[in-house]
Chains A and B, each alone.
Chain A
Amino acid sequence: MTSGRKWTDGVEGVLLDITGVLYESGESEAIQGSIDAVKRLKDAGLPVRFCTNETTCTRQVLVDKLKRLGFTDMKPEEVFPPIPAMCQVLKERGLRPHLLIHPSALADFGDVATDNPNCVVVGDAIDEFSYANLNKTFQTLISLDKPILFSLGKGRYYKDGGNLVLDVGSFSRALEYACDVEAEIVGKPSAIFFNTAVKNMGLSADKVVMVGDDIVSDVGGALESGMRGVLVRTGKYRSKDENHPTVKPSAIVKNLAEAVDILIKSRKPWDGLAELA
Chain B
Amino acid sequence: MVLLGILRLMLIQRKLNATSRIVCQDFLSTMAVAKVRTVLVDLSGTLHVDAEEIPGSIDAVNRLSQSGVNLKFVTNTTKESKRCLLDRLTSIGFNVQPSQIFTSLTAARHLIERMEVRPFLMLDRRALEDFEGLDTTNPNAVVIGLAPEDFNYQTMNKAFRLIMDGAALVAIHKARYYKRTDGLALGPGPFVTALEYATDTKADVVGKPEKSFFLSAVEEFKCQPEECVMIGDDVRDDIGGAMATGMFGILVKTGKYRDGDENKIDPKPTYIADNFSGAVDYILQKL
Contacts and interface: CB of A to CB of B under 8 A. Distances in A.
Given A131-B186, A135-B185, A164 B160 contact: yes
B184 A129 contact: no
B189 A164 contact: no
A166 B186 contact: no
A178 B164 contact: no
A177 B176 contact: yes
Interface stretch (A55-63, A68-76, A167-175): A167-175
A138 B148 contact: no
A177 B190 contact: yes
A65 interface: no
A163 interface: yes
A130 B151 CA distance: 7
A28 to B, nearest CB: 24
A164 B152 contact: no
Contacts of A111: none
Interface stretch (B86-94, B193-201, B229-237): B193-201
A56 to B, nearest CB: 13
B191 to A, nearest CB: 6
A238 interface: no
A157 interface: yes
Contacts, number: 82
A174 B184 contact: no
Interface residues of A, number: 29
A6 interface: no
A130 to B, nearest CB: 5
User: Interface residues of B: mostly helix, strand, loop or mixed?
Assistant: helix
B153 interface: yes
User: Interface residues of A: mostly helix, strand, loop or mixed?
Assistant: helix
A180 interface: yes
B195 A170 contact: yes
Contact of A138 (B149, B153, B157, B184): B184
**Contact-residue bracket for chain B:** 20 to 34
B153 A157 contact: no
Nearest to A160: B157
Contacts of A247: none
A142 B184 contact: yes
A126 interface: yes
A171 B197 CA distance: 9
A181 B153 CA distance: 23
Contact of A131 (B149, B177, B193): B149
Contact of B176 (A134, A139, A156, A178): A178
B177 A138 contact: yes
A178 B178 CA distance: 10
Contact of B194 (A127, A163, A173): A173
A129 to B, nearest CB: 4
B149 A170 contact: no
Nearest to B200: A156
A178 B197 CA distance: 14
A76 to B, nearest CB: 29
Interface string B134-156: 00000000000000110111101
A139 B183 contact: yes
B195 A178 contact: no
B151 A142 contact: no
B153 A170 contact: no
B35 interface: no
A166 B157 contact: yes
A102 to B, nearest CB: 11
Contacts of B202: none
Closest 7 CB pairs of A and B: A174-B190, A174-B194, A177-B193, A173-B197, A170-B198, A178-B190, A131-B151
Given A130-B152, A175-B190, 7 more contacts: A127-B154, A129-B156, A131-B152, A134-B186, A138-B184, A165-B160, A177-B176
5 contacts: A129-B156, A139-B184, A166-B156, A166-B198, A179-B176
Interface of A: 126-131, 134-135, 138-139, 142, 156-157, 163-167, 169-171, 173-180
